Amino acid sequence: MTANEATRVLVVDDDPALGVVLDALLTQAGIGTRVVRSGEEALRAIEERHFDAILSDVKMPGMDGMELLTRLLQRRPEMPVILLTAHGTVPLAVEAMKRGASDFLLKPFDREEILFVIGKALVAAEGAAAAPPAQPFDEMLGDSTAMREVRALIERAARGTATILVRGESGTGKELVARAIHEASPRREGPLVKIHCAALPETLLESELFGYEKGAFTGAANSKPGRIELADGGTLFLDEIGDISPAMQVKLLRVLQQREFERLGGRQTLRVDVRFVAATHRPLEEMMARGEFREDFFYRLNVIPLWLPPLRARGEDVAQLSRRFCATHARVNGREGAVLDEDAVVLLARQSWPGNVRQLENFIERLVVLADHPQIGSADVQAELERQGGGTPVGARVAEDGGGPVTLGERRRQSEAEALVTALKQAGDNRTLAARLLGISRRTLYTKLEEHGLI
């Protein structure tokens, strides 16, 4: 089966009938595919072109799925690999996650489940780095006092098993901190399992976390271990924990306290050895006062609090971050040799970046892609600022000596960005409410957030 330019997922299965079914299922969902029938063919295929994710059977003649997983991650460590098998067991699933699989599915599979899992993998692939960090702190750049304190706290906290609550504004790097904690801990050989709590509706979140038994609900054709179970012996990262409902908080509280739970539809109590790291940008204390976040759950999470500083509080790190992002995105986008000159870095450092490190990285990537020449100067930075709408995406920081003149466009754009950030904070990051507070439609809010690099 030949691939076209839209190919995104490589399907590996020795059963030709199942290959046809998976190809049709993904194609109907608008996902391009290529189907191969062995691990050897898969390795040749990834040398011929780029794939955003791989879906592979486990039981195959010759090279099986576990061996293929190992070889794929050696060659393409950024590529999500999902394993599919009719012989699923919890130990096999745990071993697959330890080796680096992004997910694990059982045959016969449910159509909605397989599309959901592949969709998650494709979203993750879009933001994947060109290469994984070799050391726990490789991606945690910055020599500011604030960042040195963060790294020191991580080193101390990583040695134990106490639950850690990472807090800070959106875009400050909370997932990087979770990864650094795991890699610096005695659990580094175990799995690091991540789940984005805000990305899933409550019913799906519950089954993702706790797993389910066969027949627990319509479409549960087999039993499946949940993320808590798969993290046994390692670390479970609960991202955006502030977005879960009080009912889900109660269910997770027991796991945090006793390290035990039951799968959906199950009666057997399971025990796990898991280190929990949670993260949120939400104002949890205010949410507790409004009855939206349980106090007992908060105190169980907040054993070791770790606050990440916003980028505006560590402006001296902007230069190092900008140069690293420039090198990374030059490599990823085929713009090798692209560099930021000193004037460009100075201009970047004058911005306040309310979207924090994520916003800075997105801006640098646009610079790299759109620049007409390898040497990126202050004129290129200014042109991109103006392309986004009149001066700066975030408002210029005024230097202590008074700085240079600020244009009316810059002032207007700064005020607009600050109004967006303030409204989101007042609304507890509820975008519908934030739009109402600003007197604009939800669609206009999303347009403005994207324009200012805040999403």
C-alpha span between 363 and 381 (Å, rounded): 9
Looking at 3.40.50.300, 3.90.950.10, 3.40.50.2300, 2.60.120.10, the CATH number of the domain 145-307 comes to 3.40.50.300
Cβ(387)–Cβ(413) below 8 Å: no
Topology of the domain comprising 311-451: Helicase, Ruva Protein; domain 3 (1.10.8)
Q: What confidence score (pLDDT) does residue 133 get?
A: 42
Q: Show Cβ contacts of residue 200 under 8 Å, excluding neighbours closer than 6 positions.
A: 208
**What count of other Cβ atoms lies within 10 Å of the Cβ of residue 125?**
18
Rg (CA), the chain: 23
Cβ(397)–Cβ(351) below 8 Å: yes
Q: What confidence score (pLDDT) does residue 6 get?
A: 55
CA distances from 52 to 2, 10, 132, 347, 364 (A): 17, 8, 16, 35, 23
Tell me the H-state helices in 29-87.
Answer: 39-48, 65-75
Q: What confidence score (pLDDT) does residue 117 get?
A: 80
Q: pLDDT 10s per residue in the chain (455 long)? A: 444 445 589 999 998 888 898 988 888 888 889 999 999 999 999 888 888 899 998 888 889 888 999 888 888 877 899 988 776 566 777 777 777 888 887 776 777 778 878 877 776 666 544 334 445 566 678 888 889 999 999 999 999 999 999 999 988 999 999 999 999 999 988 888 989 898 888 888 998 899 888 888 777 777 888 899 989 999 999 999 999 999 999 999 999 999 999 999 988 999 999 999 999 999 999 999 999 999 999 999 999 999 999 998 888 999 999 999 999 888 878 888 899 999 999 999 988 888 899 889 989 999 998 888 889 999 988 888 777 654 444 444 443 334 444 455 556 667 777 788 887 777 767 777 777 778 787 767 777 777 776 76
**Residue closest to 195 by CA, chosen among 240, 258, 163, 229:** 240
**What count of other Cβ atoms lies within 10 Å of the Cβ of residue 117?**
21
Buried b (16+ CB within 10 A) or exposed e, 13-43: bbeeebbeebbebbeeeebbbbbbbbbeebb
- Quick one: tokens of 291? 């009855």
Q: What confidence score (pLDDT) does residue 131 get?
A: 38
Give the CA angle between residues 262, 267, 268 to the nearest 5°: 65
C-alpha span between 116 and 226 (Å, rounded): 15
Identify the residue whose tokens are 């025990």. Answer: 271
Identify the residue whose tokens are 């963060």. Answer: 150
HSE, side-chain direction, 13 A CA sphere, residue 304: 19
Q: What confidence score (pLDDT) does residue 396 get?
A: 44
Report DSSP letters for 216-251, one per residue.
SSTT--S-EE-HHHHTTTSEEEEETGGGS-HHHHHH
C-alpha span between 435 and 160 (Å, rounded): 43
Q: What confidence score (pLDDT) does residue 287 get?
A: 93
**H or E, element range at 379:** helix 378-387
Q: What confidence score (pLDDT) does residue 237 get?
A: 96
Which pTM value belongs to this model? 0.64
The answer to whether 7-126 and 145-307 have equal CATH topology is yes
Topology of the domain comprising 7-126: Rossmann fold (3.40.50)
- Give the bridge partners for 251, in sequence order: none
Q: What confidence score (pLDDT) does residue 269 get?
A: 93
- Quick one: tokens of 279? 């993260």
Q: What confidence score (pLDDT) does residue 259 get?
A: 94
Report DSSP letters for 405-434, one per residue.
---HHHHHHHHHHHHHHHHHHHTTT-HHHH
Q: What confidence score (pLDDT) does residue 74 get?
A: 80
HSE, side-chain direction, 13 A CA sphere, residue 403: 13
Kindly list the domain boundaries of the chain, sorted by start residue: 7-126, 145-307, 311-451
- Quick one: tokens of 73? 């991650």
**Residue closest to 366 by CA, chosen among 322, 318, 397:** 322
β-pairing, 211-212 vs 103-106, is unpaired
